[in-house]
Amino acid sequence: MKTIVVTGGAGFIGTNFVYYLLSHAPSCHIIVFDKLTYAGNKFNLQKALRRGRAVFVKGDIASPSQVRRLYLRFKPDYVFNFAAESHVDRSIEGPEAFVRTNVEGTFQLLEAARLHWAGLSGRTRAGFRFLHVSTDEVYGSLGPHGCFSETTPYAPNSPYSATKAGADHLVRAYHETYGLPVVMTNCSNNYGPYQFPEKLIPLMILNALEGKPLPVYGDGKNVRDWLYVEDHCDALWKAMTQGRPGEKYNVGGNNEKTNLEVVGTLCRQLQRAYPAKDNPALSKKGLRDYGNLVAFVKDRPGHDRRYAIDASKIRRELGWKPRHSFDTGIAATVKWYLDNRDWCRRVQEGNYGRQRLGLLKK
Ligand code: NAD
Ligand code: TDX
């Protein structure tokens, strides 16, 4: 029975990953370690915690004493590092928290992992792994052609991606210098249940339902490669259990869409599930289509134009492939947000009002 630490397990991907583990690795012992920032919610994990299937520890990955205690107390076989400040717009407004959590936090986790691993022996030592969850944004921005591969040079453009890149370099160095058995994944944009409504897809769904403008940055032609979160979880589990220590794997859905295409798809799905004419928030304004809410707004500073992932390495070496198409994934996501309006209210309450973030103040 493996003991698995999931840092950042109360956030979007971490929560989905905990539920993935419950169904795909039912005998493991799960420890969620999370600071519970605005983006993390313990109640996401209620079903797992109530059934005694996971233990929750509130803590900060950037605190050396808390991280050390975590390893001493639970003696993990696997560590998945999801914990991060993850929103590009917030990194423009306040980069410091990003440096602290993403760079210093990853460093503290690696340092404690090194001490923990040094004290192990035999099969436990051979089986220990540290998986760092990273992003395609470390590679910078693409022109109209080509994809990011694992050997693409790093060229981060936002404080968020720069701090993720810094963390990735530390992870690599801990393998090269100390031999720590690390695996790294760089994934494209995720979407699905439990995503905090500051990110494009949930923000657009909730604004549309409330008859608010759908703020499209710049010309709306920036391209992202969208992956349903469960497919990312599957890639992470494969990378941890079958990946080679010291290797990195790119993960992506082969689903390139402009932001305008994404917003258009969401509006059509909403129209089917809850026609605008039946939604008082729109009908009282005389609007019969969610698409009427689209509003072009000032661009994000340093806005990366295009991301696209070449995921052939993880497909070839680990036999991973996404199971959800964009259409089925988006339909499931829209349904989840329609069915979970209470969750949406609860995570935003007193915390966030879907205001524009990340514009430079003169
Ligand atoms: P999220 O913002 O939804 O969740 C982050 C979680 O980390 C929250 O629960 C938060 O409370 C916790 N956290 C933040 N600072 C912490 C700290 N100092 N100590 C402990 N916990 C802390 O993020 P997400 O979208 O779930 O992303 C998870 C990881 O995946 C991140 O590392 C992110 O860079 C990476 N990633 C995300 C995407 C995406 O599209 N969302 C794509 C590729 C990679
Ligand atoms: O209101 C909006 N309007 C808009 O046009 C928002 C919030 C976003 N956008 C655009 C900006 C991007 O081109 O939509 C695109 C997606 O934006 P985000 O949801 O903020 O995601 P992105 O910046 O692409 O980063 C995401 O994917 C990679 C995650 O937030 C990162 O954590 C992950 O590493």
Do residues 89 and 358 make contact, with C-beta atoms less than 8 angstroms apart?
Answer: yes
Residue 204 · residue 264 · CB < 8 Å? no
Ligand having the closest approach to the CA of 62 = 1
In whole numbers, what is the pLDDT of the chain averaged over residues? 98
Domain annotation for the chain: domains and CATH numbers: 3-196+227-254+304-324 (3.40.50.720)
pLDDT in tens, 88-130: 999 999 999 999 999 999 999 999 999 999 999 999 999 999 9
On the question of pLDDT at 51 being above 90, the answer is no
What tokens appear for 55 in the block?
């233990």
pLDDT of residue 361: 81
Band of residue 257 on the pLDDT scale cut at 50, 70, 90: very high
CA-based diameter of the chain, in Å? 70
At which residue do the structure tokens 């160095």 appear? 173
pLDDT score of 134: 99
- Using the predicted structure, report yes or no on whether residue 362 has a pLDDT greater than 80: no
Cα–Cα dist 35/55, whole Å: 14
**C-alpha 79 – ligand 2 centre gap (Å):** 27
Instruction: Using a pLDDT cut of 90, give the percent of the chain over it.
Output: 99
**Rg, C-alpha atoms of the chain:** 20
Instruction: Determine which residue's CA is closest to atom 3 belonging to ligand 2.
Output: 216
b/e sequence 284-308, b meaning 16+ C-beta within 10 Å:
eeebeebbbbbeeeeebebebebbb
Enumerate residues lining ligand 2, CB below 6 A: 86-88, 135, 137, 189, 199-200, 203, 215-217, 222, 224, 259, 300
Q: Is residue 136 flagged as an active site residue? A: yes
CA distance 245 to 234: 18
Q: What gap in Å lies between CA 128 and CA 112, rounded to an integer? A: 13
Q: What's the confidence (pLDDT) of residue 315?
A: 98
Q: Which atom of ligand 1 is nearest to the CA of 61?
A: 19
CA–CA dist 206, 213 (Å, integer):
10
Ligand nearest to the CA of 235: 1
Nearest protein Cα to ligand 2, atom 32: 86
Which of 71, 139, 160, 249 is flagged as catalytic? 160
The answer to whether the pTM exceeds 0.95 is: yes
Pocket test of ligand 1: the residue of 36, 82, 348 to mutate, having most ligand atoms within 8 Å of its CB, is 82
Position 84 scores a pLDDT of 99
Q: Is 232 exposed, middle or buried (0-12, 13-18, 19+ CB in 10 A)?
A: buried
Q: What is the pLDDT of residue 61?
A: 99
Under the banding of pLDDT at 50, 70 and 90, the label for residue 165 is: very high
Contact (CB, 8 A) for 197 and 348: yes
Alpha-carbon gap, residue 301 to 1, rounded angstroms: 47
DSSP 249: E
Ligand 1 pocket: which residues have CB below 6 Å? 7-8, 10-14, 34-37, 39-40, 60-62, 82-86, 101, 105, 133, 135, 164, 187, 189-190, 196
**How many whole angstroms separate alpha carbon 65 and alpha carbon 35?**
14
